[in-house]
Structure 1
Amino acid sequence: MEQGQQGSLRERLVDAGVELVLAEGSTSLGLREIARRAGVSHGAPRRYFPTHHALLSAIARRGFQELGTRFAAALAAPGSARTRLRAVARVYVEYALERRGMFELMFRHDLLEGAPPPPDQPRLRESSLPLFARMTDLVAQCRPEPDDDGGAAVAAAALWSNLHGVAQLWAWGSLPLVLSAARPPVAGAPADDPAERLERLLAAVLDAHLGPEPQ
């Protein structure tokens, strides 16, 4: 089979996997179902991906690429480093909520720590490095002191961990529940907007890691 056809079929399998994970979640990604959706025999994926994990990693890598595109759009907007960092934080959490199946797949431990991929592909865990580098750069710009000791990377890692936790707890309904309980409804007052509540929470996360925003 010609190289172009091989590449086309390989991408078709990944495309089918992306559609499946977005429609039905990360637990739906069986080889047979991916092959069926791609319109190939159930044995075809093995010709392009040596293991099931290799195919899942290729699908998850698409998620990192999409998230990276959203990061780039947020970073291109005008504003201070703090403003752009808040936009990146919002993008990260919104992506997790909009693409729950893909987000879960992207951070599966067995895929992140899986066997080395083909020579032309990085390890899945390395797909997160450019995103983390952008976040670290913004954190460094927000800190008053020079980043001589790598403190910006530590602060960015703490911020990332916090955002990941916000995304998971919000998706599970735990954060909306506790925040609603902490602010009982007042007669005549407008209903609490979940989007506004999440925005306030993200602002509090940045304050916790970077200090209050300068006035």
Structure 2
Amino acid sequence: MAEADLAGLPHLDAATLAPLIDPARTALIVVDIQNDFAGPSGLLKRVGVDMTLAEAAIDRIEAIIPAARAAGATVAFMRVVTEPETDSDALKALYARKGRPGGQAICRTADGGADYYRVAPEAGDIEIAKLLYDSFHGTDLEDQLRARGIDTLVMTGVATDCCVDATTRAGFHRGFHVFVVSDACASYEEELHTGTLKVLHKNCALLTTADAVVSAWANNAQGAPL
């Protein structure tokens, strides 16, 4: 399976990462793993978007979620959930000015586009329904995280250059320590993925890998040194 080339990007290894993502204070954030953004019958796939990079990222997310649960970390699922009446006027105008009227009609509840793809929340997880990119905007995500004593976010999902980026920046601006799992995020174009990772690392987050997160949390779950 093709994957983005992450060579040259700085990544924290498991030993360095483990003390920084204490499960009691950390949430795994799973962004927009939904039919329309990632599924084989979703809107993006139907208009010809290649899902190869997204599928590779979801493979790793599926490994990280049970590691988070076993370690006792919070798992939080973000989703775009829309109806025609909730569409942003600014977004509609933006699409129209780009010559794509109606292009904002994504992640509808009526046709299943908003449904989860390959992942699903369990009792005790956080679930957030949002209208646009930033998972904090117009939601109670921050309140739910603070109520659990969370001060650290481990970011995964799609798309790196859109909703992952917006949520990472918003979390940082709210005082959270943010780690982006570079190979458990994806854009639909490799250069957008790697470019966004470089910018996030420069400004507001540290990068790591799925293997490092799983190893760090396995160590936390066992209570043994790496």
**Structure with more of its chain in helix, by fraction:** 1
**Structure with more of its chain in strand, by fraction:** 2
Q: Could you tell me the TM-score, scaled by structure 2's length? A: 0.24
Q: Could you tell me the TM-score, scaled by structure 1's length? A: 0.25
